[in-house]
Every structure is written in C-alpha cells, then in structure tokens.
Structure 1
Amino acid sequence: MSHDGASADSFGPDAHRPRARPLDAWVAQSLSHAVNPLVLAPLLFGLVLAHLGAPLAEIGWAVSVGLVFMTVLPLAYIVRLLRRRRVRSVEIPERARRRGPLLVSVAAYLGALAVLYTTAETAAALLAVLAGLHAGNTALILVVTLRWKISIHTTALGGFISMLLFVAQTPWPRLALEAALFTPGAVSGLLLLLGALVWARVRLGAHTAAQAVAGALFGLAMPYAELSLLAAGGFV
C-alpha cells in the first residue's frame, strides 16, 4: 500500500471498473425501489375504487389526488433536502433526519383527506378515512422514529395489505360489487411480498430484522384494527 492509502490494486486497467454487485443485493435494492412507500397510497385508492365499481373517471381522480398529495409533495420536500445535502438519499437512511419529511407527509395526507371527502362520489367517506389513517399512523411512526428506526417500507406495505384486506372482506351493500376486483385470499397473497420486503431491507443493511418485522406487524395490525372500529361505529 502506498503512503496515501491506495493499494497496488487501485491502479491499472481495472481501477475504474465497478465491482460486480451480488445478485441478492441487486434483487433487494430493486424490490425496495419497486415497493416504495410513496407510490402505495395512490395505488390503494385506485384499487379500492375499482373494487367498488367506481367509474374510470372517479378512479383516475382519486389516484391523481393521491399522487399529488401523498407522492409528489412529500417527494418534493425530500428532493429539497437532497439538494441542500441534508440527507444522503430519497430513502433518508439517517433516522434523525426523518422527522421533517414525516411531518410534511402527515400534513399532505390531511390535505388528501379534505380533497377526497369533498370531491369523491363513490365511497367518499371510506377514501377520506384511508387518507386519515395514513396521516394518523404516520404520526405514530414519527413518534417511534424519534427513538428507533422502524422500517417505513415494511410499515407502508403492511398497511397497504391490511387496508385492502379490510375492503375485500367487508360487504358494501350500497355499492355495486358485481365485478369485485379482489378477494381476501388474493390480498393475503401479498404477504409473500411483505416477507420478501422484510428480507430486502435487512439484506441492504437499512434495518435490523427487528425493525423490519416491527414495521410489517404495525402496518398489518394497526390500520385493520382502526378500520374495524370505525366500521363498527358507522363511519365507513
């Protein structure tokens, strides 16, 4: 090794050639990018309305609201942090830096709630509740994040699955369900994807196994319990 810390292998024809990445690491990274928390809420709104038989125009509107408030606004804030070099990546690996983006997300989700409740025609109350649960549970995750780096990826996918499962299991007598899009069994199949995401976050070193599993369990349990209570009270 030379005096400046460079080894002999740092020079020569292969010096600037990137090292091959292990296949499992590539798969884990690809999965983390594909199942990004920022894209799940708009997808949820679209799937729920499609399941409930809403017209295509209404589905497009709800997805658009979700994209603006629950994807673009939080992402724009994160990009601003990136440009100011406050964070290292869109995933915000620094736990202490997650408070601002989570607060912005809570505010944006509440904006989605207001817009959906006042403009949606099919299942407006349900859509508003789903947006509200995103806001409330994100606030809870923020509190946890102050002390512990729970996985937002697995929390988001777990919540996505539990909300879809609730919608699939619940009878909606005031809505036409002749062409229901999904069944509880089909939704339960997404648990395999959740398990793969837990593995991916641990494989990448983004979280410990406990942090990834805790996020998954929070996402699976909390929204389903909240929706069940709200349904019992006649709010959805």
Structure 2
Amino acid sequence: MTDVGVRERRNVVDAAARVLTEVCAPWVVNIASSMVIGIAVGAPGWGAFVALCAGVVPMAVILAGMRRATIGDHHVSKIDERHLLIVVLLFVVVAGLVVQVVAHAPIEMIAFMSAGLVALAVAAAITSVFRWKVSVHTGVSAGVTVVLALAVSPWWLLALTLTPLVGWSRVRLGAHTTGQVVVGALTGAVAAGLTYALIA
C-alpha cells in the first residue's frame, strides 16, 4: 500500500472514531436512555425531566465553560478542567433527584438518576483523588446499558457490544489509555447496575 493509501485509510479510521465518540457521547446517551426508560415505564414526562438533568444541562454547563475559556473542548479532555465541572454536575443531579422524590416520580426514574449519580461520584473520586482521567464515555455506555437491561429488557445487554467500540474510539483519538476506558466501563456498569437494582 502506498503512503497515500495508508494516509487515506488512517483518515477513514479516525473519522469513524470521531463519529463514534460524538454519537456515543455521555450527554447523548443519557438523553436517549432517559427517554427510553421514561416511555417504557409509562412516564415520558419524567423521562424528559431526567434527560434535561442528565444530558441537556450538563452539556449547557460545558458549553458555557468553553465560552468562558475555562473548558477547552466539549469532551473536557484536560483533567484539571473536570474537577469543578463534576461538582456542578453532581449538584444538578442531586437537585433533580430531590425534585423527583418530592414530586413522587416513578421509582424506576428515581433509581435511574440515582444510578447515574453514584456512577458519576465514583468517576469523580477516581479523577480527583487519584488524578486519573477515567473514561466517562465508556462508563456511561456500560452503565446505561446494564440499567436498561434491568429496567426494560435483558435484550439491552446486546448493546454492551458498543462499549468496546466506544473505548476504541477514545483510545484511537488519544483521549484515554486502554486502562482508562476499561476501568470506566467496569466501574460504570457495576456502580450504575448495583444502584439501580437496589432502589428499583
């Protein structure tokens, strides 16, 4: 294969990695899964509320940080930019949970948001205490898939095949190491899955 051919192949692979990274971004997955669970339990309004708290608001906060130049990119690639952001996101999710509990939201929706809160707290601990940039992409991918399998149908476990692909995309783009995507997936699946199972 010529040098031109090699470059073209690399460009195609890199483009595929970028598409996977964007389509499976945490905020996108959170919005989609919130609506799926909301519809599945007959509470699409609560699904939209959780989507707002877990997807729309977090991305709005990130974009605001980018405008102020306190966050470099929408994936928050620099570890030092993640600390304050995580605190803000934890506050948003806790506030959303309070609203759900006070308004007597379906237990499945409360459990789903609680699962996200615990998974985020675990990722925060690894990031802040150990200063290791664990992958939120793979954490959300695996965690949401396990919760969907528990809440909606075991068939959702088939979607776990996407998590290694998401991990590959993050490594390919230089955002994480292999260890960071693996740990992200394992902690996300365990933290979110156990939390949902205990509450729902």
* Shorter-chain TM band: 0.7 to 0.9
Unmatched segments (≥5 aa) in structure 1: 1-18, 169-182
Pair 1:155-2:139 in alignment: yes
Preserved contact between residue 162 and residue 223 of structure 1 (Cα < 8 Å)? yes
TM-score normalised over the length of structure 2: 0.87
Match for residue 117 of structure 1 among 82, 92, 101: 101
Match for residue 218 of structure 1 among 184, 187, 194: 187
Once residues 50 and 136 of structure 2 are traced to their aligned partners in structure 1, the CA distance between those partners, rounded to angstroms, is: 18
Pair 1:29-2:10 in alignment: no
Once residues 104 and 164 of structure 2 are traced to their aligned partners in structure 1, the CA distance between those partners, rounded to angstroms, is: 34
Once residues 187 and 71 of structure 1 are traced to their aligned partners in structure 2, the CA distance between those partners, rounded to angstroms, is: 20
Aligned partner of 2:148 in structure 1 is 164
Match for residue 177 of structure 2 among 208, 221, 227: 208
Preserved contact between residue 134 and residue 183 of structure 2 (Cα < 8 Å)? yes
Q: Which runs of 4+ in 1 moved over 4 A?
A: none
Higher Cα radius of gyration:
1
Q: 1:212 to 1:22 in 2, by over 3 A?
A: same
Pair 1:99-2:83 in alignment: yes
Match for residue 73 of structure 2 among 89, 99, 105: 89
Q: Which SS does the other structure have where 1:73 is aligned? A: helix
Pair 1:197-2:166 in alignment: yes
Q: Which SS does the other structure have where 2:63 is aligned? A: helix
Q: Which SS does the other structure have where 1:189 is aligned? A: helix
Deviations 1:114-138 (A, max 9, x none): 23334466xx122112112212221
Match for residue 56 of structure 2 among 60, 72, 80: 72
The amino acid that maps onto 1:208 is: T
Give 1 or 2: higher helix fraction: 2
Q: CA RMSD in A?
A: 1.9
The amino acid that maps onto 1:100 is: L
Preserved contact between residue 118 and residue 192 of structure 2 (Cα < 8 Å)? no
Once residues 191 and 132 of structure 2 are traced to their aligned partners in structure 1, the CA distance between those partners, rounded to angstroms, is: 18
The amino acid that maps onto 1:104 is: V
* Count of residues in Structure 1 that have an aligned counterpart in Structure 2: 191
The amino acid that maps onto 1:140 is: V
Once residues 76 and 226 of structure 1 are traced to their aligned partners in structure 2, the CA distance between those partners, rounded to angstroms, is: 26
Once residues 76 and 51 of structure 1 are traced to their aligned partners in structure 2, the CA distance between those partners, rounded to angstroms, is: 27
Preserved contact between residue 113 and residue 127 of structure 1 (Cα < 8 Å)? no
Deviation at 1:207, TM superposition (A): 0.3
| Identity level (%) | 24
Aligned partner of 1:39 in structure 2 is 28
Once residues 198 and 73 of structure 1 are traced to their aligned partners in structure 2, the CA distance between those partners, rounded to angstroms, is: 24
Unmatched segments (≥5 aa) in structure 2: 1-6
Aligned partner of 2:117 in structure 1 is 135
Q: Which SS does the other structure have where 2:181 is aligned? A: helix
Deviation at 1:105, TM superposition (A): 1.1
Once residues 144 and 93 of structure 1 are traced to their aligned partners in structure 2, the CA distance between those partners, rounded to angstroms, is: 15
Once residues 220 and 211 of structure 1 are traced to their aligned partners in structure 2, the CA distance between those partners, rounded to angstroms, is: 14
Q: 1:73 to 1:157 in 2, by over 3 A?
A: same
Deviation at 1:149, TM superposition (A): 0.6
Once residues 213 and 133 of structure 1 are traced to their aligned partners in structure 2, the CA distance between those partners, rounded to angstroms, is: 19
